[in-house]
Chain A
Amino acid sequence: MQSSEPGLGKRLRIAVPSLVIGAVLWLPLVHVFFAPSLAAIRVEAGVAPLARELAARQKWLWTDAEALRRSVARMHVTNAEWDFMGRTFLVLSLVNLSLREPETTAKHLAIIDRVLTETLAIEKEKGLYFFLMPYAKRGRWVLDPPRSQFLDSEIALMLASRCVLAEEPRFRAELARRVRRMADGMRKGPVLCVESYPDECWMFCNTVALAAIRISDTLAGEDHARLFERWLTVAKQRLIDPRTGILYSSFTVDGKRVGNGPEGSSIWVAAHCLLLIDPEFARDQYRRARAELGVVVAGFGYAKEWPDSYAGPIDVDSGPIIPIVEASAGSSGCSLVAAAAFADLDYLRALTTTLELAAFPIRDASGLRYAASNQVGDAVLLYALTQGPLWERVGPAFPSRRSNAK
């Protein structure tokens, strides 16, 4: 019996080129099926459709006690910080949504006040460590009594943003206390930064603190320009990685030892916060981070956690890193905030395309969530798609020199 089928070797000689042709034809086309239109993610006035869907889900969570409990519990299994940061990004998003659609302010204020009241109560009842990772209990704090800039800065930012929407004396008083404490702590530090964990300062937290102080200044009519100026001088001299020009991510209180060098999950949000202090420096940091960490391939965008010149770890901040391409969930999520803040629309669209492909969107009656993400991830994305009005209303402490010259 003779077979008309060619042997394996012959089949492979045809199969391999056929597979290559298939890949060359298909893979560059995939993004077309996942890319959202720019209008779905970015609008100058009103709220972008994708943001509206995400917001619906985030707001629904705070009306369904059991769903919120489950969502928070899942995050606490890995990282208690996420629960806290999810609150911050939700509050910032709701403030921006209210500024975009003033008729929604009252509804959003109710949720914001609930988040703030509950967060302050948890901090008071359960203390410093509830929202921190367990290693916070192992080291020795430099400040006495211990304070975490992670908690103070984000609570202050939530309070300040909330008070931009409407006056609330109890929140204003709490904001004033936090701002005084943060500013005093920063002035005392050799590199004008306060620790978030024992003898561990984070650029993320300290730039959030600067943004919170800046917003508070506009509310209270105060001026921390001298602190901002000194901070910028010290940061540019002592807290920048010489190879990339990107701000370090973490370092000791004295600034002598660097914990993490230039890091994606830190620099994207830091650059966004610095827009309220020194827009030129912020833009320079974004450009450097985009060049070192941002990647767009075949229409899909993502961000690496570490530049090629720096060997950093895979940790809870980076999230899982995909080998070879080095895509980091943490850095990619935060890069959305920066891409939106610096109007890098091609990158923003490419990042959102990746979300639609790889983050497994689930749309149901409650709104939109991404199954591969979590509450904090979705809140960060929501903030990326809604941010703008709050920062515009506050304005930078030091407008660019070019505009000054004019």
Chain B
Amino acid sequence: MRSRRRCAPFTPMWFLVCAGLVTVAFGLLHLFGARNYTSILSGTAGSTNGSVVAALLGLAYAFAYFATVLVAPVLVIAAGVMAALTARRRAP
């Protein structure tokens, strides 16, 4: 019960979990080779037959990558800042 509360939205733990999930999603897409399909960003088909699946994989990869590089570190820093601020408020 206590751990669920600690992971409630907009808590330091929740930020860390979000950052972790985004990074894991990116890692999985990377392992499955989805990076190759990001040519969709330049308007080029990801496969020789212009498959929709290839295009979606490319977009998902790009989304997960930018979330990992740009958003996840912000969440981690925010978690630290929030924990420090909360601790300071609780201090007698």
Contacts and interface: CB of A to CB of B under 8 A. Distances in A.
B44 A75 contact: yes
Contact of B69 (A14, A17, A19, A357): A357
Contacts of B65: 360
Contacts of B42: 319-320, 329, 372-374, 377
A65 interface: no
A316 B45 CA distance: 13
A11 B48 contact: no
Interface string B34-56: 01111101111111111000000
B48 A18 contact: no
Contact of A74 (B48, B62, B81, B82): B48
A371 B43 contact: no
Contact of A372 (B6, B39, B45): B39
A11 B10 contact: yes
A26 interface: yes
Nearest to A23: B74
A362 B38 CA distance: 11
Contact of B10 (A3, A12, A357): A12
Contacts of A26: 70, 73-74, 77
A74 B43 contact: no
B74 A19 contact: yes
A404 B81 CA distance: 63
Contact of A21 (B15, B43, B69, B77): B77
Interface string A159-185: 000000000000000000000000000
Interface in A27-57: 27, 30
A296 interface: no
A5 B5 contact: yes
Interface string B1-32: 00001101111000100000000000000000
Contact of A320 (B43, B70, B76): B43
Contacts of A316: 43
B11 A5 contact: yes
B70 A77 contact: no
B47 A18 contact: no
A73 B77 contact: no
A255 B38 CA distance: 39
Contacts of B36: 362, 371
Nearest to A357: B69
Given A3-B5, A14-B86, A15-B82, A371 B38 contact: yes
A221 interface: no
B78 A373 contact: no
Given A21-B78, A320-B41, A371-B37, 15 more contacts: A8-B10, A11-B8, A11-B9, A15-B82, A18-B77, A18-B81, A19-B74, A25-B77, A74-B48, A75-B44, A77-B44, A78-B45, A360-B35, A360-B62, A372-B42
23 contacts: A5-B8, A11-B8, A15-B11, A15-B15, A18-B81, A19-B74, A19-B75, A21-B77, A21-B81, A22-B73, A25-B77, A26-B77, A30-B69, A74-B39, A77-B50, A320-B43, A329-B41, A329-B42, A357-B69, A359-B41, A371-B35, A371-B36, A374-B44
